[in-house]
Chain A
Amino acid sequence: DTAVSQTPKYLVTQMGNDKSIKCEQNLGHDTMYWYKQDSKKFLKIMFSYNNKELIINETVPNRFSPKSPDKAHLNLHINSLELGDSAVYFCASSPRTRSWNTEAFFGQGTRLTVV
């Protein structure tokens, strides 16, 4: 079974559209994350979500919003897509925060292309 799964794997859409990427983890982890990886492989944290505590990277446009229906899911909604949103988006989870032994488990990524 896949530990952290994202859907879709590829997403091609036009500018101005609204889209969602889904993420589910079956590891029982407390914290989930969304990362954006640009064409230079630079990984940037977008959000972290832990038991109703949402931490937002202040540089993320408010067109991006995470939605967590339950502890195992953290979906990413993007409104009014722009060309610069094209990137690979990774979902990740970790078992606990502020811990000495915390590692993150990543999904396979969603390649978003805005045309």
Chain B
Amino acid sequence: SQQGEEDPQALSIQEGENATMNCSYKTSINNLQWYRQNSGRGLVHLILIRSNEREKHSGRLRVTLDTSKKSSSLLITASRAADTASYFCATAPFTGNQFYFGTGTSLTVIP
């Protein structure tokens, strides 16, 4: 299976704290992406990191990628209650045209 895995499965933090989620995958990738899903809604793209990049920033988001370990992390700094959602990593392989999603991390930010 090309499905990735994320940990933790669930994370609960206080507003203002940082949240870190990890993603591991199994095959070589073209890029890795992170998505957010609010309850009952579709997925929204957050950030994309290419396989030749090691770190990327977007606002309060910081993503790292270690292709030797086939892993990525998403850091959300200074969390807000509105960040409460499920977060998924998705990998795009070099062959084929599909995205493979991880199992997701459910983040709860307590006001």
Residues of A within 8 A of B (CB): 4, 31, 33, 35, 40-45, 48, 50, 55, 90, 92, 94, 97-109
A26: min CB distance to chain B, Å: 15
Chain A: CB-nearest residue to B106: A41
Separation of A97 and B86 alpha carbons in the complex (Å): 26
CB of A106 within 8 A of CB of B98, answer no
> With contacts defined as CB atoms under 8 Å apart, how many contacts are there between chain A and chain B in the complex?
71
Q: Given A41-B86, A90-B42, A108-B42: A102 and B92 within 8 A (CB)?
A: yes
Residues of B within 8 A of A (CB): 3, 30-31, 33, 35, 37, 40-45, 48, 50, 86, 88, 90, 92, 94-101, 103-104, 106
Separation of A98 and B94 alpha carbons in the complex (Å): 6
CB of B41 within 8 A of CB of A33, answer no
CB of A97 within 8 A of CB of B97, answer yes
CB of A50 within 8 A of CB of B42, answer no
Give the residues in chain A near B95, CB-CB below 8 Å: 98
